[in-house]
């Protein structure tokens, strides 16, 4: 699936329109360069799940955990600061990623070794006109 988003409002609408898809209890790996909108889209998805007390990007904490009104735990990971597999293992990534909850990951290539086989990849690009393209695939494509 491929989507084109022209502005922030388009990102908000994308999250709302695709909420059923993103509420699956799966791992979603958001891959894209800095500034492509990974955090914005993930936060909009989480907000549309009924969670309004967002903690921002978990760049420093690495993992933010939220709970929906129905008691479902949702995770937002930002793996940018992880240095190696050993550090990821020490933080419990392997255990966290084995949970059957919606998990949204920024910088997933840093923990690719730990990702479940059924991870859904959400690749973001920005073109010269500042239009974002989102490509959703069930396998990693570099």
Q: Please report, for the domain that includes residue 72, its CATH number.
A: 3.40.50.300
Is there a domain that residue 100 lies in? yes
Number of folded domains that form the chain: 1
Its domain, for residue 108, covers 2-137
Q: Are 40 and 5 in contact (CB under 8 A)?
A: no
Is there a domain that residue 98 lies in? yes
Q: 8-44 pLDDT, tens per residue?
A: 888 889 999 999 999 887 899 999 999 898 999 999 9
Alpha-carbon dihedral angle through residues 108, 123, 101, 48, given to the nearest 10 degrees: 130
From the CB of residue 25, how many other CB atoms can be counted at a distance below 10 Å? 12
Is there a domain that residue 52 lies in? yes
Is there a domain that residue 142 lies in? no
- What pLDDT was estimated at residue 109? 92
Is there a domain that residue 41 lies in? yes
Is there a domain that residue 49 lies in? yes
């Amino acid at each position: 699936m491929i989507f084109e988003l022209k502005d922030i409002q388009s990102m908000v609408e994308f999250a709302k329109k695709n909420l059923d898809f993103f509420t699956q209890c799966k791992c979603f790996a958001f891959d894209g360069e800095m500034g492509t909108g990974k955090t914005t889209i993930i936060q909009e998805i989480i907000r549309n799940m009924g969670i309004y007390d967002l903690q921002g990007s978990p760049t420093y904490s690495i993992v933010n955990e939220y709970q929906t009104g129905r008691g479902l735990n949702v995770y937002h990971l930002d793996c940018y600061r992880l240095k190696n597999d050993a550090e990821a293992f020490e933080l419990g990534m392997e255990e966290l990623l084995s949970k059957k909850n919606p998990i949204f990951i920024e910088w997933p290539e840093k923990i690719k070794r730990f990702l479940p086989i059924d991870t859904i990849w959400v690749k973001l690009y920005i073109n010269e006109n500042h239009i974002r393209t989102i490509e959703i695939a069930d396998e990693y494509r570099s």
